[in-house]
C-alpha cells in the first residue's frame, strides 16, 4: 500500500470521518461469530461506536457469518453479551449476512460483464502469492466448480482516510483480479461488505488498519455497482509483544465481562484519548459518556500499528491469564 502523508489535513484536528452536511451518520461493527471478542476487536468496536455516537450517528451491528464452517457455536451470543456488558448498544435489528445471499447473487449478476470463472488451484497459484496472473481471464465460463474473479483495470483508486491520510492504490497492479465468490460457493468478504454497507446505508466505516488494503478493492466494486463511497477511518490495531495483531488466530483471550470499566479505561488509553485517572473508578456508562464527549480520533494520526506500552503490557495479561488486569 502506497501511503501519501497529508499532515495538513489530518494533523491532530480530525474530529471524525468526513460526512456530508445532510446525510445522517450511519456506522457499523461487523464481527465474525468465530469466537468471543478479544481486546483487539473490542478496541475497534469502541472506536467505531465512539465515532458514531460523537456524531449523533447510528451504530449498526452486522454478523459476518457467511463462512459457515468457521462459525463457532455460542460465539454470536458471547459477542452480544460482551457488547452489552461494555455498554456498546447497537441500533436496530442485527443484520445477518447469511440471510442476504440473494442480495449478493443479484450484485454478481449486475457485475456479470466484469466477472469470469477461475478454476486455478491453490497449488497452481502458489508461485504467484501477490497478484493473480490472469490465467482464466479470457476463457469461457468453466463447467466445473470455479471461483468468480472480477476483472480489474489499470487505474488508480484513491480515498482520504480520516486517520491514515491519502491512500492511492492501483488495484490491477497491486491486487490483480480478486475473488468475489469462492470455489466452494461462499461469497467473498470484499463483495459481501460492499453489498451490506450499501444495503444498510452505511456511510462511515471505522475499522482496523489491517483492513486498509481491502478498501481500494471495495471502492473498485462500489464504483462498478454505482454505489456511493462511504468515508473511511482505519484505526491502529493492537499487537502483542511479538508484534502480531491480537486475533483469534494468535489465541488472544476473550475480554472479561466483569472488568468492563477497567478495560474500557485501558482501551481509551490505547486509543490515545487520555482518559483522566479519576475515570478509572467510574461506571461503564459514565466512562462512555466521557469518551463520547471527548472523542478525538485525530490523536491516532501517525500510529499505523499500536503496541501496548511496555509498562502497561507487563501488567496486562493478554495471553496467559483468564482476565485482563491492570494495576
136 interacts with Zn ion by CB under 5 A: yes
Query: Which of 118, 187 has the CB closer to Zn ion?
Result: 118
What is the DSSP track for 222-254?
HHHHTPPPPEEEEE-EEE-TTSPBP-TTTTPPB
Applying CB under 5 A, which part among 34-42, 79-87, 131-139, 298-306 lies near Zn ion?
131-139
**Site size for Zn ion, by CB under 5 A?**
4
Shortest separation between residue 183's beta carbon and Zn ion, angstroms: 10
Positions 102 through 121 that interact with Zn ion (CB under 5 A):
118, 120
The minimum distance between CB 103 and Zn ion, in angstroms, equals: 26
- Closest to Zn ion by CB, 120 vs 186, is 120
Here the cell at position 126 is: 502458489
Instruction: Assess contact for 85 and 260: CB atoms under 8 A.
Output: yes
Stretch that binds Zn ion, among 56-64, 130-138, 179-187, 242-250 (CB under 5 A): 130-138
For Zn ion, which is the closer residue by CB, 135 or 269? Answer: 135
Of 8 and 185, which has the nearer Cβ to Zn ion? 185
Q: Measured from the CB atom, is 134 or 158 closer to Zn ion? A: 134
State the Cα–Cα distance between residues 211 and 190, nearest whole angstrom.
10
Under rule CB under 5 A, residue 135 binds Zn ion: yes
Stretch that binds Zn ion, among 128-136, 172-180, 285-293, 319-327 (CB under 5 A): 128-136
Stretch of 133-141, 158-166, 296-304, 312-320 contacting Zn ion, by CB under 5 A: 133-141
Q: How far is the CB of 139 from Zn ion (least distance, A)?
A: 8
| 3-class secondary structure, 119 | coil
Q: How far apart are CA 124 and CA 189, in angstroms?
A: 23
Please, where are the H alpha helices in the chain? 7-10, 39-54, 75-85, 101-110, 171-174, 189-199, 214-225, 260-270, 284-293, 310-313
Nearer to Zn ion, 182 or 296 (CB): 182
C-beta of residue 161 within 8 angstroms of C-beta of residue 212: yes
Residue (68 or 144) nearer to Zn ion, CB: 144
Cα–Cα dist 78/248, whole Å:
14
- In angstroms, what is the minimal distance from the CB of 143 to Zn ion? 14
| Cα gap 267→264, rounded to integer Å | 5
Least separation in angstroms between residue 27's CB and Zn ion is: 36
Q: Which is nearer to Zn ion, 105 or 124 (CB)?
A: 124
Min dist CB 107 to Zn ion, Å, is: 21
Q: How far is CA 192 from CA 6, 53, 97, 177, 199, in A?
A: 31, 25, 8, 16, 10
Nearest distance from C-beta of residue 132 to Zn ion, angstroms? 7
> Which single residue is written with the C-alpha cell 497478484?
131
Rounded CA separation 85/83 (Å): 6
- For binding to Zn ion (CB under 5 A), which residues are involved? 118, 120, 135-136
Amino acid at each position: 500500500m502506497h501511503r501519501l502523508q497529508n499532515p495538513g489535513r489530518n494533523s491532530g484536528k480530525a474530529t471524525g470521518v468526513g460526512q456530508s452536511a445532510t446525510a445522517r451518520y450511519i456506522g457499523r461493527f461487523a464481527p465474525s461469530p468465530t469466537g468471543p471478542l478479544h481486546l483487539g476487536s473490542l478496541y475497534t468496536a469502541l472506536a467505531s461506536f465512539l465515532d458514531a455516537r460523537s456524531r449523533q450517528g447510528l451504530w449498526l451491528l452486522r454478523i459476518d457469518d457467511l463462512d459457515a464452517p468457521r462459525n463457532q457455536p455460542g460465539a454470536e451470543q458471547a459477542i452480544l453479551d460482551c457488547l452489552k456488558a461494555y455498554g456498546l448498544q447497537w441500533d436496530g435489528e442485527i443484520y445477518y449476512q447469511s440471510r442476504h445471499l440473494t442480495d449478493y447473487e443479484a450484485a454478481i449478476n449486475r457485475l456479470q460483464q466484469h466477472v469470469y470463472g477461475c478454476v486455478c488451484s491453490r497449488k497452481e497459484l502458489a508461485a504467484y502469492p501477490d497478484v493473480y496472473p490472469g490465467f482464466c481471464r479470457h476463457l469461457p465460463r468453466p463447467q466445473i466448480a470455479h471461483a468468480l474473479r472480477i476483472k480489474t483495470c489499470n487505474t488508480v483508486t484513491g480515498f482520504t482516510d480520516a486517520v491514515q491520510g491519502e491512500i492511492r492504490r492501483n488495484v490491477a497492479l497491486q491486487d490483480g483480479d480478486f475473488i468475489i465468490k469462492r470455489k466452494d460457493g461462499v461469497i467473498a468478504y470484499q463483495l459481501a461488505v460492499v453489498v451490506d454497507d450499501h444495503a444498510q446505508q452505511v456511510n462511515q466505516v471505522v475499522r482496523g488498519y489491517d483492513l486498509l488494503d481491502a478498501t481500494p478493492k471495495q471502492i473498485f466494486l462500489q464504483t462498478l455497482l454505482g454505489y456511493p463511497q462511504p468515508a473511511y477511518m482505519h484505526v491502529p490495531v493492537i499487537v502483542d509483544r511479538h508484534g502480531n495483531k491480537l486475533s483469534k488466530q494468535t489465541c488472544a483471550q476473550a475480554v472479561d465481562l466483569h472488568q468492563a470499566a477497567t478495560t474500557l479505561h485501558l482501551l481509551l488509553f490505547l486509543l490515545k484519548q487520555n482518559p483522566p485517572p479519576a475515570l478509572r473508578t467510574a461506571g461503564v456508562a459514565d466512562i462512555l459518556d466521557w469518551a463520547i464527549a471527548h472523542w478525538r480520533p485525530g490523536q491516532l494520526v501517525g500510529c499505523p500499528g499500536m503496541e501496548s506500552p511496555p509498562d502497561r503490557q507487563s501488567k496486562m495479561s493478554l495471553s496467559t491469564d483468564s482476565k485482563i488486569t491492570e494495576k
